[in-house]
A and B are shown apart, each in its own frame.
Chain A
Amino acid sequence: MNDLFQSFLEIVSQYGPFPVGIVFGVWISRWATKQQFEYMGKEIDALRKEREKIVDIVRSQESRIDILHNGSQKEGEK
């Protein structure tokens, strides 16, 4: 086990001082995922607001739809 760990250290030390690469890799992946989640949150907020706007659009159309509906009902009664 100790030999294996030593060989691992030897291989990794060829790429520079030992912990720097791992620390950099962890930091860069953390940075990227954090950014991704921020933009995902923005997208979700925008989609939620869009849904709310579409509900408002339907509500604003209600009065005109009622006029059309009542008109057709009266025509049917006649």
Chain B
Amino acid sequence: MFATVCIMLVVSWQYLFYILPSKRRAYIAINMLCLSECLLELNREALPQGAITKGSYIHDYFYKFLVSALYKKIYLKFPSLSDIKGNKESDIRMNLFDNELNDLCPATKAAVTGAIYAVSRIMFLNHPFEFIILFLMATRARLGIRSGMISSGKYITVSSFGLTGATR
């Protein structure tokens, strides 16, 4: 009995403090790769063709968000929960974002949604318990995990313009 408890403690110690942090870092790096793929797609397709113009939400805020996350290595800030519901500004931004996403061609649309999904996964890896609260608040209809992750990721990108200065 004592021996089994000791073995379980040792295994859990090794997993929690040696394996899990390296796993977390690896998955964050893989999800940052998704963001760089999205930025490449925007630069290669959408900007030369004129699908994204100056003044639109994706050009002014989402592109800036991607650049600050990739080039400046800025830590993705968690949004305050008051920004999610009952805030007119965030609702207006969400509507703008959805309309602009629907106007894009399917390849760039897939890239942008993939980037948003990656952002929400990074948030889940950095702040798991807070992200679960955000996920439960952001999902208006029970459509599935993927759509819920995408809607919560949209809220994160909408409300984190003032990114913090710490590295990731």
A74 to chain B, nearest CB (A): 21
B71 to chain A, nearest CB (A): 8
What bracket does the count of chain B residues touching chain A fall in?
20 to 34
A residues less than 8 Å from B7 (CB atoms): 24
B125 to chain A, nearest CB (A): 13
- A28 and B10 in contact (CB under 8 A), knowing A35-B22, A36-B18? yes
- A39 and B14 in contact (CB under 8 A), knowing A57-B36, A57-B40, A64-B48? no
Task: Determine which of A31, A35, A46 lies in contact with B32 in the assembled complex, contact meaning CB atoms within 8 Å.
Answer: A46
Q: Is the interface of A mostly helix, strand, loop or mixed?
A: helix
CA gap between A29 and B18 in the complex, in Å: 10
B30 to chain A, nearest CB (A): 5
B14 touching A28, Cβ below 8 Å: yes
Interface residues of A, count at CB 8 A: 27
**Closest B residue by C-beta to A36:** B22
CA gap between A57 and B48 in the complex, in Å: 13
A residues near B (Cβ < 8 Å) are 15-16, 24-25, 28-29, 31-33, 35-36, 39-40, 42-43, 46-47, 49-50, 53-54, 56-57, 60-61, 63-64
Can you add 20 more A-B contacts, CB < 8 Å, to A43-B30, A53-B33?
A: A25-B10, A28-B11, A31-B14, A32-B18, A32-B19, A35-B23, A36-B19, A36-B22, A39-B19, A39-B23, A40-B22, A42-B30, A46-B26, A46-B30, A46-B32, A49-B36, A50-B32, A56-B44, A57-B39, A60-B40
* Cβ-closest 10 pairs across A and B: A46-B29, A53-B36, A39-B22, A39-B26, A43-B26, A32-B14, A42-B26, A43-B29, A60-B43, A32-B18
